[in-house]
Amino acid sequence: MNHVSVYHVDAFTREPFAGNPAGVIPEAGTLTLHQMQKIANELNLPESAFLMPSDHPEADFRIRYFSPSVEIDFCGHATVGSAWLLATERGWLEKGSRIVFETNVGLIPVQLMMEDGQLQRVEMTQIRPSVKEIDVDSEEVARLVGITLADLDDRYPMKLASTGNRHLLVPVRTRQAIDAAQPLLASLAEMNKEHGITTTHLFSWDAPEGYDLYTRDFAPAIGIAEDPVTGAANGALAGYLALEELLPAGKVTELVIGQGHAIGRPGKLYVTVDRSGEEPVIRVAGEAHLTIAGQMRG
């Protein structure tokens, strides 16, 4: 490894130092997996995305994601950050308005949403959602995430959901309870590893003005105490809402989800849940801001 271009992109926001920071390495084709993990650890961001050539006939890039400690099969905010970087800094808009990433979970197409010649948002279509029962004690989960049993919203089931990674969805009655949560990170990490859970995702319909849902995400099992604004987990949440019949059948529902406010990195996700076909289709869109550009020297 000689000089490697590295970018720090704040995703799901237009403001620097808000949203979810991702490392993006757009020319990673010569890097080994060991080097990628070392770079992700050095950047010490929630996730870093490494782009390389793809052999898939329908893909524009192969993309791999790493937290500071492990490789992750899919990361939403790093996908948004990568697409935004390619469009705004790497000349992709001259080639078209669509980028297809080959990930460990399948192809993720991203649409570049333009208005008056300016990039407004990027929108990724996630893989088919799924939900699964989980045999856990609700009181124990509440204890691990640092809320009370009374804070849980028993109108909604606690389940595992996925659009690439497995997330434990924890329904909470109020935004205040989510903000006040003080997770027992070491114990939560043990429970997540036991069940193959990537993150534990708290959600509430008690959202601030301008949002439909409010969420918070803890991921100690993959080396991230708290993921500020989570494209993968909120996509899984949208799939859960569709598959649990909590959104209207036969229609397209638009949701605005807020996350990151509790830790001073507010972000906004624009989520489309399309139930007009046989299977729900989940699309997650957002903005981004390129905050740092530089080189890593090995």
Q: Which residue numbers are catalytic?
A: 47
Pairing of strands 267-274, 252-259: antiparallel
Kindly report the CA angle at 197 between 228 and 154, in degrees rounded to 5?
80
Query: DSSP assignment of 14-69, as one string?
Result: SSTT-SEEEEEES--TT--HHHHHHHHHHHTSSEEEEEE----TT-SEEEEEE-SS
Q: How far apart (Å, rounded) are the C-alpha atoms in residues 277 and 125?
A: 15
Identity (one letter) of the amino acid at 265? R
Q: What is the DSSP letter of 253?
A: E
Rg over alpha carbons for the chain, rounded to the nearest Å, is: 18
